[in-house]
Amino acid sequence: MDKTNTYSAFPALANHYTSSELTIRTNLVAQTNIAKDAPIFKSLILNEDKFEILEKILSKTRELISFAGLNLGSDIDVEISHHIGIEKFEEVGAILIPVINREYAKKIVVMIKNQFHPEHFHKLKEETFLVLKGQLRVNLDGIVKELYPGDVLVIPRMSKHSMLAIEDTVFEEISSTNFANDSFYSIIENFMENRKTLISLWF
């Protein structure tokens, strides 16, 4: 089930998925056929509930955005990257917050302590990291760089790079235009088919 075959309606019924709940859950699978225009009851769904995991991730993101002294508005789009599963997000992944994407682009990247972002490269995009808070270890084409607040590192096109957050870390990714499907990973055998969750974050 997804937004192409579901819609929101009032009133919400007991044990009924609401639109806000559906936006923060993934991989919902119906155990039986659901008739057109019928409500989606939780008892009909086979699903490992992701609500608490996502709430924990979003709460930590809010905390670290505040920690970095950033004001991003009241309602922002967030991309949760969880390459080997959202249950292992604290081990492998990152929070990406797009700010602008034109000929130039900017994202805020949030990584929690000891979180790793796998080695990859971009064919089209050149990017620059600017650390705002924390400590980030970047392996850039086999050379390890330790970055602290105020440090800047340019990532040229085609350069393989991975990141490890030594502490809770927030950094800016300033780049040329960001294109979908322009991240090429060195190892993908353990990756989930759907390794991203898109959600809005309210402050």
Give the model's confidence band at 29: pLDDT under 50 very low, under 70 low, under 90 confident, else very high.
low
Indicate the pTM of the whole model.
Answer: 0.78
Going along the chain from its start, the domains and CATH numbers come out as 1-49 (no CATH), 51-202 (2.60.120.10)
- The per-residue pLDDT for 159 is 98
Q: 32 pLDDT exceeds 90?
A: no
Give pLDDT, residue 28: 60
Enter the tokens of residue 135: 């400590």
Instruction: Give residue for tokens 């130039």.
Output: 104
pLDDT at 1 over 80: no
Percent helix, strand, coil in the chain, to 5, is: 15, 40, 50
pLDDT at 161 over 90: yes
Distance between CA 203 and CA 32 in Å, rounded? Answer: 37
Selection from 69, 112, 64, 61 nearest residue 88 by Cα: 112
Q: Which of 74, 86, 105, 112 is nearest to 197 (CA)?
A: 86
The gap between the terminal CA atoms of the chain, to the nearest Å, is: 28
Q: How many CB atoms lie within 10 A of CB 83?
A: 23
In the sheet that holds 116-121, the strands lie side by side as 143-147, 136-140, 161-165, 116-121, 184-185
Which range, of 45-54, 123-132, 133-142, averages the lowest pLDDT? Answer: 45-54
| Confidence at 81, pLDDT banded by 50, 70, 90 | very high
Q: Mean pLDDT, the chain, as a whole number?
A: 87
| Euclidean distance between CA atoms 9 and 18, whole angstroms | 9
Greater model confidence, 8 or 153? 153
Output the pLDDT for position 2.
Answer: 57
CB contact set of 172 (below 8 Å; sequence gap of 6+): 106, 107, 108, 109, 129, 130, 132
Can you tell me the mean pLDDT for 92-96? 97
pLDDT above 90 covers what percent of the chain? 60
Least confident range from 113-117, 142-146, 196-200: namely 196-200
